[in-house]
């Protein structure tokens, strides 16, 4: 009786390794058979280098245009502008009707759309987005202003919504084309508060957000269900890019090396000097893209001496050799700016000659009319023992610091001292504007509708960069925004721009041209009607 148990124990003791291996192999086979294949494996992933890390990535809160590099492909908008014609074309709205009085806009919506999280798209979703944007607690910096005189909405049925205005506002349709007014999933908006939504954004666009690590990267993946895009979105091929990882190269000197090393396949805002050096590289391709909107510019603060004097402002403009600055920094990639809107923008002021041509002698004459003269034996302007000291606030991006340094040097040549104060980002730029302790401040914007002028020069605009108050100028903006006729609008905006230049409210430097560069293996790199944002849906890599 004792022997049997020992035999059993011995038998068991001799078999564990064999039994273990058999069981392991069997389980592995079961796991391999049961593990589902990825129905949408990532194909052709690429890295896209961006020139700036926005201080916030929520399109409903933040104002940085650089967000659109990413978010243009996460969200669909009710309407689009065709990239070639700039005409309005259907988006999430299939039909648009504007009431004769210009106060009611009716949108018929698509019925076949779902958000990335599976939530159905309908009129209630549009309403939910509008409620978030117009919530005063959100403190929207841009999106709410694109709505203009919007008052409320009316949901007519599940797929029809009306936007009702307090007064006619012609730029509304343009605003509805911009990513700031992209439509978000109501489920996501309800799930994440204002501080967390930027990390979990959910739209209906051709790409969906996978991961966002501030300061490091933001990853998008192609939406496999996407079938409702505008006609200028191409049908994906086998070479279509399915994943884009955006990385941030705030240091301009790191962009070209990242591209050359294959660390990134596309780079945004390549420095012009680097672009010139790479122009002959057959493994790379340059994409210079003119940007509609305002030029790179410096606003004069008319409430702060000595730039409160017209002669002083005019003197500073003609003392600036803008052609020399543009040639030095932009290497022929960008033209000199002469007006408040860049030359490619609808209704831009047309000038055959510069309004304020460079003329150092004229500058000294204008300064002399205000009592300033050069101190004998010293290259310093003075009036009653007081020299001219100006404060210029400068953001870090878009060559602003280099341009500011060249202006500082040019003005020093005629005896004017300029103190440069560089801010870290858009949020600190706004804080500097609110404080008002400056003579000049740099800010610009991209866009197609000339109503953006009212945001820079309107007496009641927020922020009022120039602190200029003029009821006549405000009246021009009000009239232009309330009529639809393009010829009449153009005439009013021409008058407004002429007044801005007559009053020397701005020192325009250069019309913006962004030079992107990409590997020659990249195909389909095109940009939206605003010239700024890549159409990721059309990208190929192979």
Residue 280 lies in a domain: yes
Cα angle value 391/397/402 (rounded, 5°): 60
SS3 192: coil
User: pLDDT tens digits for 66-124?
Assistant: 899 999 999 999 999 999 999 999 999 999 999 999 999 999 999 999 999 999 999 99
- pLDDT of 34 higher than 60: no
Co-location of 236 and 336 in the same domain: no
**What 8-state DSSP symbol labels residue 528?**
-
Contact call for residues 160 and 109 (beta carbons, < 8 A): yes
Co-location of 495 and 523 in the same domain: no
pLDDT at 41: 63
Co-location of 269 and 179 in the same domain: yes
Sequence-ordered list of residues with C-beta below 8 angstroms from that of 193, at least 6 positions apart, any chain: none
Q: From CA 417, how far away is CA 420, in angstroms rounded?
A: 10
User: What's 434's domain CATH number?
Assistant: 3.10.105.10
Closest residue by Cα to residue 356 from 390, 392, 310: 310
Residue 388 lies in a domain: yes
Co-location of 169 and 97 in the same domain: yes
User: pLDDT tens digits for 213-264?
Assistant: 998 999 999 999 999 999 999 999 999 999 999 999 989 899 999 999 999 9
**How many domains does the chain fold into?**
2
- Quick one: pLDDT band at residue 3, thresholds 50, 70, 90? very low
Residue 25 lies in a domain: no
Co-location of 399 and 479 in the same domain: yes
Co-location of 277 and 339 in the same domain: no
Co-location of 206 and 113 in the same domain: yes
Q: Which residues of 165-199 are buried (b: 16+ CB within 10 A; e: fewer)?
A: beebbbbbbbbbbbbbbbbbbbbbbeebebeebbe
Q: What are phi and psi of 117, to 5 degrees?
A: -90, 10
- Other C-beta atoms closer than 10 Å to the C-beta of 540 total 18
Co-location of 369 and 489 in the same domain: yes
Q: What is the CA radius of gyration of the chain?
A: 29
Sequence-ordered list of residues with C-beta below 8 angstroms from that of 350, at least 6 positions apart, any chain: none
pTM score, whole prediction: 0.82
User: pLDDT tens digits for 297-352?
Assistant: 999 999 999 999 999 999 999 999 999 999 999 988 999 999 999 999 999 999 87
Contact call for residues 267 and 516 (beta carbons, < 8 A): yes
Residue 40 lies in a domain: no
User: pLDDT tens digits for 263-287?
Assistant: 999 999 999 989 999 988 999 999 9
| Sign (positive or negative) of CA dihedral 242, 243, 246, 247 | negative
User: pLDDT tens digits for 59-78?
Assistant: 999 988 889 999 999 999 99
pLDDT at 64: 87
Tell me the average pLDDT of the chain.
Answer: 91
458-to-167, 444, 463, 467, 497 alpha-carbon distances in Å: 17, 15, 9, 9, 12
User: What's 269's domain CATH number?
Assistant: 3.40.190.10
Q: From CA 236, how far away is CA 214, in angstroms rounded?
A: 30
The H or E element that residue 272 is part of is helix 272-278
**Burial tier of 13 (Cβ tally within 10 Å: 0-12, 13-18, 19+):** exposed
Co-location of 318 and 248 in the same domain: no
Range of the domain at 93: 47-290+515-541
Residue 249 lies in a domain: yes
Q: For a pLDDT cut of 70, what percent of the chain falls above it?
A: 92
| Residue bearing the bigger pLDDT, 42 or 154 | 154
Contact call for residues 205 and 75 (beta carbons, < 8 A): yes
Residue 8 lies in a domain: no
- Other C-beta atoms closer than 10 Å to the C-beta of 134 total 17
How long is the chain? 542
Residue 75 lies in a domain: yes
């Amino acid at each position: 009786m004792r022997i049997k148990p020992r035999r059993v124990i011995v038998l068991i003791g001799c078999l564990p390794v064999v039994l273990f291996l058999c069981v392991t192999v069997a389980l592995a086979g079961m796991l391999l058979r049961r593990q589902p294949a990825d129905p949408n494996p990532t194909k052709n992933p690429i890295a896209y280098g961006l020139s700036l890390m926005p201080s916030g990535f929520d399109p409903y809160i933040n104002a940085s245009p650089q967000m659109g590099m990413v978010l243009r492909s996460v969200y669909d908008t009710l309407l689009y502008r065709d990239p070639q014609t700039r005409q309005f074309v259907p988006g999430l709205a299939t039909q648009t009707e504007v009431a004769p009085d210009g106060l009611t806009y009716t949108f018929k919506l698509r019925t076949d759309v779902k958000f990335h999280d599976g939530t159905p798209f309908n009129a209630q979703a549009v309403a939910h987005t509008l409620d978030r944007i117009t919530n005063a607690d959100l403190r929207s910096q841009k999106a709410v202003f694109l709505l203009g005189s919007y008052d409320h909405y009316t949901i007519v049925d599940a797929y029809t919504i009306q936007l009702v205005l307090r007064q006619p506002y012609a730029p509304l349709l343009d605003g509805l084309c911009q990513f700031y007014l992209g439509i978000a999933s109501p489920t996501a908006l309800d799930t994440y508060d204002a501080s967390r939504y930027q990390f979990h954004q959910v739209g209906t666009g051709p790409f969906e957000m996978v991961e966002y690590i501030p300061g490091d990267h933001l990853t998008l993946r192609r939406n496999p269900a996407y079938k409702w895009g505008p006609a200028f979105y191409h049908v994906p091929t086998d070479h279509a890019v399915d994943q884009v990882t955006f990385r941030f190269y705030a240091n301009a000197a790191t962009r070209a090396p990242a591209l050359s090393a294959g660390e990134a396949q596309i780079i945004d805002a390549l420095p012009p000097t680097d672009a010139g050096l790479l122009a002959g590289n057959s493994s790379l391709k340059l994409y210079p893209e003119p940007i509609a909107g305002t030029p790179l510019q410096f606003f004069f603060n008319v409430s702060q001496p000595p730039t409160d004097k017209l002669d002083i402002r005019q003197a500073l403009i003609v003392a600036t050799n803008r052609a020399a600055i543009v040639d030095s920094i932009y290497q022929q990639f960008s033209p000199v700016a002469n007006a408040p809107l860049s030359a490619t923008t609808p209704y831009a002021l047309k000038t055959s000659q510069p309004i304020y041509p460079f003329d150092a002698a004229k500058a000294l004459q204008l300064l002399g009319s205000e009592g300033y003269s050069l101190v004998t034996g010293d290259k310093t302007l003075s009036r009653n023992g007081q020299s001219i000291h100006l404060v210029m606030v400068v953001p870090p991006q878009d060559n602003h610091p280099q341009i500011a340094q060249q202006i500082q040097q040019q003005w020093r040549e005629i005896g004017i001292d300029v103190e440069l104060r560089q801010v870290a980002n858009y949020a600190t730029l706004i804080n500097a504007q609110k404080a008002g302790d400056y003579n000049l401040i740099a800010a610009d914007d991209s866009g197609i509708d000339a109503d953006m002028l009212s945001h820079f020069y309107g007496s009641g605009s927020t922020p009022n960069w120039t602190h200029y108050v003029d009821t006549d100028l405000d009246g021009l903006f009000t009239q232009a925004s309330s009529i639809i006729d393009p010829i009449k609008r153009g005439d009013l905006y021409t008058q407004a721009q002429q007044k801005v230049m007559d009053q020397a409210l701005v020192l325009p430097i250069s019309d913006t041209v962004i030079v992107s560069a990409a590997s020659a293996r990249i195909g389909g790199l095109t940009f939206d009607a605003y010239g700024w944002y890549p159409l990721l849906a059309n990208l190929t890599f192979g």
